[in-house]
Structure 1
Amino acid sequence: MHELSLAMDLVEQLTEVAARENASAVTGIHVVIGAMSGVERIPFEFAFPEAARNTPMEGAVLNIEEVPVVIRCSDCCLETEIHNLLMVCPWCNSVSVEVIQGKEFIIKSMEIR
């Protein structure tokens, strides 16, 4: 399961941060998952507690913020959210677009004690 390895990587990174901060536990984690990141929310939510077992993250509240795909058109400069994965500007129908949001999978914050 792809999400389990991502959850294990997340736990490893946050364990290092918690150790640097002399934290005894991580009580909350806020991650941002883009719609095109390849990370599925529900499997990730199930994988996280398993990855966090016997670590400072065990029992931490996992808050997931999902962000939509936003594209920018190179021809008309429109920035817009898209809900399908058709990479076409809805204003001018150009296919010369770039994804400016929606590919991310990032740690936004963590709460420690």
Structure 2
Amino acid sequence: MHEMSVALAVVEQVTEAAERAGDVTAVRSVRLRIGELAGVAPDALSFCFELACAGTLLEGAELVTEPVAGRARCTSCAHEWAVGMPPRLTCPGCGGTRTDLCTGRDLQIAAVEWEDGTPAPAGAPIQEEC
């Protein structure tokens, strides 16, 4: 299950950040930005996140997901549009097929809240965008 590997990566990255911060005793919440084209099912990820957090600093932490819409830009006419699902990658403006996907593949830790209420620094993307 892809969502389990994502959940484990999030737990690992947040745990490493907590260790670098020093005296963090627990994590209250983790907010993730998830693109509609990232191939991650938020419900499945929530289930896997709870399992991955067991026995760690993140046990009991809330997972908050923030959806990111997929958007593309035509390289010929510069028209930009929401690609939707399934993704429409042909330009609705000129019919061109040379497009750049601008957003929608995002998978990033956007925020973490430590037990003391102090927000942690935003994390790096779990998966880099092209």
What TM-score comes out, normalization by structure 2 length?
0.83
Separation in 2 of the partners of 1:80 and 1:5? 31
1:60, distance to aligned residue in structure 2 (A): 0.8
Structure ranking higher in strand proportion: 1
Give the match for residue 37 of structure 1.
38
Give the match for residue 81 of structure 1.
82
Give the match for residue 48 of structure 2.
47
Give the match for residue 63 of structure 1.
64
**1:45-102: CA deviation from partner (whole Å, max 9, x where unpaired):** 1100000001111111111011111001111111211213121111111111110100
RMSD of aligned residue pairs (Cα, Å) = 0.9
Give the match for residue 99 of structure 1.
101
Separation in 2 of the partners of 1:25 and 1:18? 8
Which residue identity is paired with 1:93? G
Q: Comparing both chains, which one has the higher relative contact order based on Cα–Cα distances under 8 Å and sequence gaps of 6 or more? A: 1
- Unmatched 5+ residue regions in structure 2? 116-130
What TM-score comes out, normalization by structure 1 length?
0.95
Large movers: runs of 4+ above 6 Å: none
Paired-residue identity, %: 34
- Unmatched 5+ residue regions in structure 1? none
Separation in 2 of the partners of 1:106 and 1:100? 15
